[in-house]
Structure 1
């Protein structure tokens, strides 16, 4: 087992793609353990992707690509500007609100921050925003996209932990909004201190302009509402809702907004195939490592260690939160969900926490890992596209990371923040 860990760490340090890092590390165990037959590797790779609930992932990804190609992003940008563009640090608020709105479209925080960096960063620089502040807003604000439904991470958590995906998606609404509000408050304090967009204060859009922006964004805003309601009333399962999302995105783009042509659709299908190939390869390789961990009884040993720390459920949760924060700094989010859910979920349920409640906490903590070194995917995306030094980003992101950790603390202390809406689902 030690060889597996050393191989994994070494490959991670030399930037080998995470799917191959997992696969090679898993294979090392089978090479050194004659008691475990090699065909198990292939069996685990195949069975790791054979799941009906897992079908929601490619459907949501395809729906997100189609919606982005249909002019929805531009309309949501206009609405976000109408709602918050008049505030101090207006463009920062526009970015955060846009991410919250995009949560109902793409489900991918990394895709959202890449898109926003290309669109908003040049304008932020024109308005005098520092690179530290601008990059932090773009990367940290995008994290709400992966919590507000549809969320790919929550779908994977539900798949691995055998937790209701429908309840998880609905549970992400209030925490996602709370995250957005916390980051808007942080951005407001930061912008007010530095005088960003101070001259725009009070320049609200007219009521007519706001109505026009809402009307133009109506079909985009309707999608997450339909998603939640169809799951709430049992019309669709989460997987069926994801398939419906693809049809909905196509109809809106082709016949309502009329911006989706066959060339764009072909590009969407190609990009979706690439994204899904990457995700499914990671899932199949992670299934091999998960088997190794289970075979060596690592979840049981770690559970005994954590439970041995204290009998207090909140101390147990705090210990797991620290584990997840550290893991988020070292591994990509998808891998964390696939590997750590089977380990931590039994511990927290035994401590008395609801699995849906823990799923939201885990999803947020893993997203925080996207803005922390050394493996922060969102951090590297914004910095590479904007030509911004990593140290500048880290300096600007600290207040936002603190705000997000405070939100996690509130969700732990007040479970109804995540369980109220799922409680309405029969």
Structure 2
């Protein structure tokens, strides 16, 4: 709001400011509704035992941690393409945490990996939520916004591969600080 008012001078009237605030409240309400539904789904899934069964199904697919990790990365990337990240955390994390514990993966490393996966998904079509928001802010079309993002997306995928292959890079600072 500060930048819009004093730097870009887009809020030159109270009507514009109130309109933007109203639109923000509407968007926030929609997001909070989706997050609430995702949280409710996670609670119900946990209560009825769906989480344990889902984790057991994933573990039955392979006992190879690398194969399962690859599958989890694919699931997270695909989910990030069609849903917002917070909802994905609520829905998928209860299913994935038993797998993290089963293979004794570091939860910090897994959280970093999950976050980078979802960040990639958020700018990848078909939905590309963050790309859409960026295009709206920059007053560009999705077609104009996509080409400059591709090199950044590829660099993030390389970073994701490094994070997956070298877990110590994600856990170095927390370990150093005794966390």
Q: Same fold (TM over 0.5)?
A: yes
Is 1:423 the counterpart of 2:141? The answer is no
Q: Which residue number corresponds to residue 409 of structure 1? A: 161
> Per-residue deviation at 1:281?
4.3
Q: Which residue number corresponds to residue 117 of structure 2? A: 365
Q: Choose between structure 1 and 2 for higher RCO, CA contacts under 8 A separated by at least 6 residues.
A: 1
- Once the two structures are superposed, residues 198-245 of structure 1 have per-residue CA deviations (whole angstroms, 9 ceiling, x without a partner) of xxxxxxxxxxxxxxxxxxxxxxxxxxxxxxxxxxxxxxxxxxxxxxxx
Q: Which residue number corresponds to residue 374 of structure 1? A: 126
Length-normalised TM-score, structure 2: 0.75
Q: Which residue number corresponds to residue 15 of structure 2? A: none
Q: Which residue number corresponds to residue 151 of structure 2? A: 399
Is 1:323 the counterpart of 2:69? The answer is no
**Structure with bigger gyration radius:** 1
Length-normalised TM-score, structure 1: 0.34
Q: Which residue number corresponds to residue 305 of structure 1? A: 57
State whether residues 39 and 87 of structure 2, in contact with CA within 8 Å, keep that contact through their aligned partners in structure 1.
no
Match of 1:339 among 82, 91, 108: 91
Q: Distance in 2 between matches of 1:280 and 1:380?
A: 19
Q: Distance in 1 between matches of 2:54 and 2:144?
A: 37
Alignment size in residue pairs: 163
Q: Which residue number corresponds to residue 14 of structure 2? A: none
State whether residues 370 and 376 of structure 1, in contact with CA within 8 Å, keep that contact through their aligned partners in structure 2.
yes
Q: Distance in 2 between matches of 1:296 and 1:319?
A: 25
Structure 1 stretches lacking a partner, 5+ long: 1-64, 72-114, 120-266
CA-based RMSD of the aligned residues comes to 3.0
